[in-house]
Amino acid sequence: MTNDPLVLDTVTVRIGGRVILDQLSLAVKPGSVFALLGRNGAGKTTMFRCLLGLRRPDEGRALLFGRDAWTHRAAAMARLGVVPEEPDVPLDMTPRALASFCAPLYPRWNSDTFANRLRHFGIREKTPFGRLSRGQKTQVLLAVALCARPEALVLDDPTLGLDPIARRELLAELVRELADNGTTTLISTHDFAAVEGLATHIGVLRDGRMVLTGELETIKASYGNVDADPMRASGDPPASLEEVFNDIVERQRGVAA
């Protein structure tokens, strides 16, 4: 289990007496793209914060590259690219300043790639971060993450708040990167269609618990199975990810009721 770059081992987090993550376990295999699905408030961001060493779990442990994320955060970050849910770069920092700040921190930083990516998306290097559009901010953060040539990427709902074009561009960029380098990736998103072309594994988080995890194709095949799902006819195409997710949510609702 510890060979996996991103691991959560029975992590529990309580905030104000409320259980946010409940004995959550997760292992992202090297080279895989793990899509984390879940409704708002399921605990995705808290899970990411634990994994990034930003929050110490009350129980269990989060591991980055086999070492405790809380105690070895700084060292692990040199090998990890992060795109947060909310762009968090200081608002007055320009992409150029951002690059010159980040370049010495990452041993494999590629300045040319960074400049090219900005140019490709029409982002001026001297525009303060606060004046960029939401999509541009995310593109800058993705550029920072990718130019460090990380061994793993953690993307917390990077398409949130993006218009369809910006979303498509961002995901195309990701697909290209993953195809080129096979970087281990953990991504949370509500964009099922996009994830379907990207993910190799999925996990469904609900009320702080992982209610389903496994290989995407296996899960889709099992949900498209006539025996497993009587509503399906033998000629039906495999279930879409969105159908799988909705089905799981409905089933969980039924269990809870």
Partner 1 sequence: MGVMRIARLELARGWKLWLVALGLGLLAAVMSRLTRDSRLTDVCMVGGAVLSWIIAVAVGMSLLGRPLHDGRLAFFFTRPVHGATIAGGKTIGGLVLIVGMQVLFLAPPMMVPPSSYQPGWTYELDGILFAVGMTTVFLAAGLVVGILARSRSRWFMLDAIGATTAALLAVATFAQVNQAQRYAALHEWTWEQAEPMFDRINVFLRTLAITGVLVVFAAVIVAVAIGRTDRDRVHRSLAITLWSSLAVVGVASVMFAHWGLV
Residues 106, 114, 192, 223: which binds partner 1 (CB under 8 A)?
A: 106
For the chain, the helix, strand and coil percentages under 3-state DSSP, each to the nearest 5: 40, 25, 40
Binding segment for partner 1 (CB under 8 A), chosen from 50-58, 196-204, 221-229, 248-256, is 50-58
| 8 A C-beta contact, residue 10 and residue 59 | yes
CB of 101 or CB of 218, closer to partner 1:
101
Which of 203, 231, 205 lies closest to 218 in space, CA to CA? 203
CB of 130 or CB of 197, closer to partner 1:
130
Type of residue found at 240 = S
The answer to the question of residue 130 lying near partner 1 (CB under 8 A) is no
Residue found under tokens 């879940």 = 38
Minimum CB separation of residue 58 from partner 1 in Å reads: 12
The residue ranges of DSSP E strands in the chain, in sequence order, are: 6-15, 18-28, 33-38, 59-64, 67-68, 80-83, 152-156, 184-188, 201-206, 209-215
Contacts of 34 (CB under 8 A, 6+ apart): 6, 26, 28, 185, 186, 187, 199, 200, 201, 202, 203
Minimum CB separation of residue 105 from partner 1 in Å reads: 5
Site for partner 1 in 67-86 (CB under 8 A): 73-78, 80, 82, 84, 86
Query: How far, CA to CA in Å, does 214 sit from each of 32, 55, 81?
Result: 11, 26, 23
CB of 53 or CB of 135, closer to partner 1:
53
CB of 44 or CB of 49, closer to partner 1:
49
Binding segment for partner 1 (CB under 8 A), chosen from 24-32, 93-101, 175-183, 223-231, is 93-101
Backbone angles phi, psi at 2, to 5 degrees: -75, -10
Query: How far, CA to CA in Å, does 43 sit from each of 32, 33, 197?
Result: 22, 19, 24
The answer to the question of residue 102 lying near partner 1 (CB under 8 A) is yes
Residues 26, 28, 42, 49: which binds partner 1 (CB under 8 A)?
A: 49
The answer to the question of residue 236 lying near partner 1 (CB under 8 A) is no
The answer to the question of residue 140 lying near partner 1 (CB under 8 A) is no
CB of 42 or CB of 144, closer to partner 1:
144
Backbone angles phi, psi at 130, to 5 degrees: -65, -20
State the Cα–Cα distance between residues 49 and 82, nearest whole angstrom.
11
The answer to the question of residue 59 lying near partner 1 (CB under 8 A) is no
Binding segment for partner 1 (CB under 8 A), chosen from 20-28, 94-102, 161-169, 206-214, is 94-102
Enumerate binding residues for partner 1 (CB under 8 A): 49, 52-56, 73-78, 80, 82, 84, 86, 88-93, 97, 101-102, 104-106
